[in-house]
């Protein structure tokens, strides 16, 4: 049950690029969590937001940056990822962003930030969802 939030400079991507970025990021997170891509349950639980930031609102060292990096924040339930899957996910995010956004001259084109919600801290519809419940709903087989 990942939540993906992408902060992007306004107008940097057209709609088809935005759709491709969000689709590929969603599938990358599902793979990292071990969810089957064909599972309707898994696909229905990967939520993502593309949030455009107005030009001129990003600063580095107090100075505005003309072409800011993208910020990709991925939130998962605690225990959904391990060191190996985090490393793999970050590498895949890097490839996806490089392919769609392109590299920036002499600096990063994105930041990837991985967050975990403590088990029992993910809730909706008036109920708490624990990691095992989420994995079951996403058809994730736990070894």
Residue 82: predicted pLDDT: 96
Spatial separation of the C-alpha atoms in residues 60 and 65, rounded to whole Å: 6
Let me know: does 27 contact 42? Beta carbons within 8 Å.
Answer: no
Residue 92: predicted pLDDT: 98
pLDDT in tens, 13-68: 999 999 999 999 999 999 999 999 999 999 999 999 999 999 889 998 899 988 89
Residue 66: predicted pLDDT: 85
Residue 16: predicted pLDDT: 98
What global pTM score does this model have? 0.93
Q: Which helix (H) or strand (E) holds 7?
A: strand 3-9
Residue 67: predicted pLDDT: 87
Residue 133: predicted pLDDT: 87
Nearest 5°: phi and psi at 5?
-125, 120
Contacts of 25 by beta carbon, 8 Å cutoff, 6+ apart = 4, 6, 48, 72, 74, 93, 96
Domains and CATH numbers, the chain: 3-123 (3.30.429.10)
pLDDT in tens, 83-136: 999 999 999 999 999 999 999 999 999 999 999 999 999 999 999 999 988 998
Question: pLDDT-based confidence at 79, cuts 50/70/90?
Answer: very high
Residue 6: predicted pLDDT: 98
Residue 1: pLDDT above 90?
no
Structural tokens at position 103: 């590299």
């Amino acid at each position: 049950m990942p939540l993906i939030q992408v902060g992007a400079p306004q107008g940097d991507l057209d709609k088809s690029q935005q759709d491709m970025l969000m689709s590929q990021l969603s599938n990358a997170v599902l793979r990292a969590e071990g969810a089957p891509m064909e599972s309707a349950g898994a696909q229905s639980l990967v939520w993502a937001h593309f949030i455009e930031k107005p030009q001129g609102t990003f600063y580095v060292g107090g100075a505005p940056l003309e072409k800011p990096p993208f910020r990709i924040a991925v939130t998962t339930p605690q225990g959904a990822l391990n060191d190996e899957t985090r490393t793999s996910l970050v590498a895949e995010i890097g490839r996806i962003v490089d392919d769609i956004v392109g590299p920036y001259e002499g600096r990063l084109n994105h930041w990837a930030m991985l967050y975990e919600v403590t088990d029992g801290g993910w809730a909706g519809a008036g109920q708490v969802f624990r990691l095992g419940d989420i994995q079951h709903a996403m058809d994730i087989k736990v070894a």
